[in-house]
Amino acid sequence: MAEAEKNAPMTDASGPQGIEYEAQQWLVRLTSGHATAADAQALTEWCARSPLHARAFAEANLLWDRLGKVAQRPGVASGSERLVAPRRLPSRRWFLGGAMAASLAGAGYLVVRPPLQLWPSPREFAADYRTRTAERRSIAVSDGVTIELNTRSSLNVLGDAGAGRVELVSGEAAISVSTRDHAGVSIDAGGGLVRASDANFNLRCEAGRSVVTCHRGALAITYAGRSADLGAGRQIAYADGALGSPVNVDPVAVMAWREGQLVFRQAPLAEVVNEVNRYRNGRIVLANEALGRRPVDVRIPIDRVDDLIAMVREAYGAKVTTLPGAIVIIS
């Protein structure tokens, strides 16, 4: 049996209602946090079966578009293994990413950046390393350099293994450079470059914004023609051609995800919801602007992030509506 046939949702119905059901099942799969490149290709082939198939998926996709408009309103929340990075051929990444982008764009039913970011983009699919929902992965890039990828993160190794040059395509990573004698590490992220020779730090890159937090040692950041040095306990962000000023933070709280915890201190609830969404399937949509602005202090175990939903309902009397595909609307 072909790979696409094995990946296709199964149903006994062949009429329009059966096709609509299959389209909904495709969305459930894509929002599961475990979609693969084979799933994307199988969906492309499923949509190409007939105009009915294409229209059914487009109509099902409208749900996410509508939810996306709600989530993007101002003030509204929109198992480890250690591996040695192998030698990579640039043509593999280029071919996979290019083929996926072409097939998705050609089908006309998926966008490069999916609604609500419910499934990975073609570039994320094609990365050398990619973590799924609630997965963490430790990668030994070279002697003295270890990178731990957080949930839903993608990383490319640039050049030969051991060169110490990588690209954080998206997501979050904790980087440890443990020896002064090593040449260090250089990380491309969001159009910027972060260099370190003896340090521990956290790097996050999503939605066009990158945030660097230094836990130990010193870092050098270059972005849009500007440079900055960053010491322990300091954080800097850059986006849209602007490099911010360093601020004081608690790096232990920022990197608590490595210990299986999410820690928030007087953070707006909308920010908490956004962060929790990275660790669960589907999406929580906070459709109450006033509620989203409430500051909260909370510590949430990553393996029980849905506890936040019950907490908000009980603490604030919020209404909770659950939809297929693990979509939860809080209003």
**What six digits make up the tokens of 176?**
């440890």
Q: How many residues does the chain have?
A: 331
Q: For the segment 147-172, what is each residue's pLDDT rounded down to a tens digit?
A: 999 999 999 988 765 567 899 999 99
- Per-residue pLDDT, averaged over 251-271, amounts to 95
Pairwise CA distance, residues 209 & 324, whole Å: 30
Fold entry, domain 260-330: Phage tail protein beta-alpha-beta fold (3.55.50)
Q: Other C-beta atoms within 10 Å of 298: how many? A: 16
H helices present in the chain, as ranges: 3-7, 16-30, 37-47, 51-71, 90-107, 122-125, 251-254, 269-277, 289-292, 307-316
3-class secondary structure, 267: strand
DSSP 186-230: EEEETTEEEEESSEEEEEEEETTEEEEEEEESEEEEEETTEEEEE
Give the residue with greater pLDDT, 302 vs 282.
302
What stretch(es) of the chain map to CATH 3.55.50.30? 260-330
Asked whether residue 324 carries a pLDDT value surpassing 90, the answer given is: no
Q: For the segment 128-149, what is each residue's pLDDT rounded down to a tens digit?
A: 898 988 899 999 888 788 999 9
Q: Output the CA–CA distances (angstroms, integers) from residue 9 to 30, 36, 39, 111, in the order listed.
A: 12, 14, 10, 21
- Per-residue pLDDT, averaged over 57-82, amounts to 50
Closest CA to 206 of 35, 308, 78: 78
Q: For the segment 292-312, what is each residue's pLDDT rounded down to a tens digit?
A: 999 999 999 999 999 999 999
Burial of 142 (C-beta count, 10 Å sphere; 0-12/13-18/19+): buried
What pLDDT was estimated at residue 37?
60
pTM of the model: 0.69
CA angle (263, 265, 269) in 5-degree steps? 90
Pairwise CA distance, residues 282 & 69, whole Å: 16
What stretch(es) of the chain map to CATH 2.60.120.1440? 127-254
What pLDDT was estimated at residue 44?
75
Q: Using the Cα atoms of residue 27, residue 33, residue 38 and residue 41 in order, give the sign of their dihedral.
A: positive
Asked whether residue 111 carries a pLDDT value surpassing 60, the answer given is: no
What pLDDT was estimated at residue 247?
97
CATH architecture assignment, domain 127-254: Sandwich (2.60)
**Confidence bin at 86 (pLDDT 50/70/90):** very low
What pLDDT was estimated at residue 286?
86
Spell out the residues 6+ positions from residue 323 whose beta carbon is closer than 8 angstroms to its own. 63, 329
